Amino acid sequence: MKSKLLYFLLTVLLSCNLNTKEETVLDLSEEDQEQLKVLFNNHLNYFSIDFASLKNEVEVLNGELVRLKLFDFKVDYEMYPRESVEKISNFKHLKELILFGCDYYPKNMDNLSKLETLHLNLDRIHNFPFEQLNSNTLQMLYIEGDSIKSVPNAIYNFTSLKELEILTNDVPSVSNEIGNLKDLENLVISVKMNTLPKEIKGCSKLKTLKIYSDSLTSLPNSFQNYTELEILYIYSKSKIDLPISLSNCKNVILFELSGIINEYPECINGMDSLGYLEIDCGENGGFDSLSDGMSNLTRLHTLRIENPKLKYLPKSLSQTNLEYLYIHEANFRDYQFPIEYNQLPLKYIKLYDTKIKEFPEFIYDLTTLEELNIKGGYFDSMRNPQPQKNWNNLKSFTVTDTDLKSLPDSLGYCRNLQTVDIQYNRLTTVPRSFANLGERLCFYWFGNPWKTLPKEMDWNCRDLNPCSVGYSNLPPAKRR
């Protein structure tokens, strides 16, 4: 009996799934369809599409319009008629409304009592009636405007907000009332401010915090409150002092820092869960080294550093879980990488303009390496790796703009190698083993003083991928 009942229920469920279809504007009432046709008339003509093709702009659920998007297409005429925009409040089941492409707003906004998400361009829409919105249902608010001078204080009354995004250029500060938004989980602020108000500590449920301000110089010492913070972005063009309380953000998994950074922020080492770290010191910043305390970052898998003054990396980095290493504009002229780095599970290495004098020894021993990219350096030779043991997973090999005079023969036995970029070195030939790489090889070799090419590569050169260059510069008579 039970088996029959289960079979019946399963049949009903499968039947429901088979009958489920995505609703379109044609599933709306005739009255709603007519209103949308008038609203989108210019839009449909502009893109030469029919009414039934409206999909990205609308969403229909249970025969009701629940999402409406009016984008800004930078045309020199009124894309969405004022009268039609003002009637949008007739769609009482709307949950998301985007008003980037119009200069007007719906009348009687209080009719949209189910609205959860609202996007506004305050450069175009002036005096928006925030007070008419249902403060108990609105969860996501996105406002932008390059010319606005202040953020409407009314937005701080929406205590149910979970996500707030403020993108402006000239607003000098954020109101102290932001602390009222105690349920806020995601906050993105782009304003012209020096710091955040200390009252922001009231937003203790933050999971994502992104701050963009060219003039940002400090942050309040209240990060001990953000026990749930996972993603942190701080972007400035000024010298930034980071509070020590950042070390209490034990759940941060991604941290991007950009500004004039003159010393490694030790508070980072307290972020036990950190997996992705990016530091851009700017043209006028920089420091000699990272910290030995990075040994605490055992979950770190990605490290990106842009630091023209960086001279060496700490040995303690070998105790992390690093898979991706990107160093840009360092000064490694007198530096040798710790051999202990060969124990790291590195998959991707990118060293750009780091002035290295020797090919890093630890790289030869990596067994997980998939992509190697070195641009700029003063080394002229490499020794043979062991492709059967170490570089077995290598897919892309890039070494450009160096003094390299020869390539290791064993490179041609890396069976998964698909791309070789060896432009602008001092190479005169390539190993015979490169013929083993076959037609799959994408080969870039321009900018070298070529003299000979192995005869074993004759067939390979004729059939090289079209993206390769340089073959025409090698006369057949000079093949060895």
Percent share of the chain, pLDDT over 90: 74
Place of tokens 């000699």: 288
Asked if the model's pLDDT at residue 475 lies above 70, the reply is no
Average pLDDT over residues 269-290: 94
Place of tokens 């004759």: 458
Asked if the model's pLDDT at residue 106 lies above 80, the reply is yes
What local confidence, expressed as pLDDT, does residue 383 receive? Answer: 92
More confident residue, 409 or 387: 409
Cβ-based neighbours of 367, under 8 Å, separated by 6 or more? 389, 390, 392, 393
Q: Which of 19, 24, 21 is nearest to 60 (CA)?
A: 24
Q: Which of 135, 133, 142 is nearest to 183 (CA)?
A: 135
Q: Which of 13-27, 156-170, 180-194, 368-382 has the lowest mean pLDDT?
A: 13-27
Mode of pairing for the β-strands spanning 58-61 and 117-121: unpaired
Number of C-beta neighbours around residue 92 at 10 A: 12
User: In degrees rounded to 5, what are phi and psi of residue 406?
Assistant: -150, 155
Q: Could you report the per-residue pLDDT of 210-269, keeping only the tens digit for each?
A: 999 999 999 998 888 899 999 999 999 999 989 999 999 999 999 999 999 999 999 999
| Contact predicate 299/322, CB 8 Å | no
| Contact predicate 141/118, CB 8 Å | yes
What local confidence, expressed as pLDDT, does residue 72 receive? Answer: 86
Average pLDDT over residues 329-352: 95
Q: Which of 142-151, 188-197, 321-330, 455-464 has the lowest mean pLDDT?
A: 455-464
CA 300 to chain centre: 17
Token duo for residue 316: 């303690």
Cβ-based neighbours of 96, under 8 Å, separated by 6 or more? 59, 66, 67, 68, 69, 115, 116, 117, 118
What CA–CA distance (Å, rounded) separates 297 from 301? Answer: 9
Average pLDDT over residues 403-426: 93
| Contact predicate 159/177, CB 8 Å | no
Token duo for residue 22: 């995505």
User: What does the domain layout of the chain look like in residue ranges?
Assistant: 21-137
**Cα angle, residue 350 at apex, residues 347 and 354 outer, rounded to 5°:** 145
Place of tokens 């915090």: 209
More confident residue, 389 or 188: 188
What CA–CA distance (Å, rounded) separates 251 from 230? Answer: 5
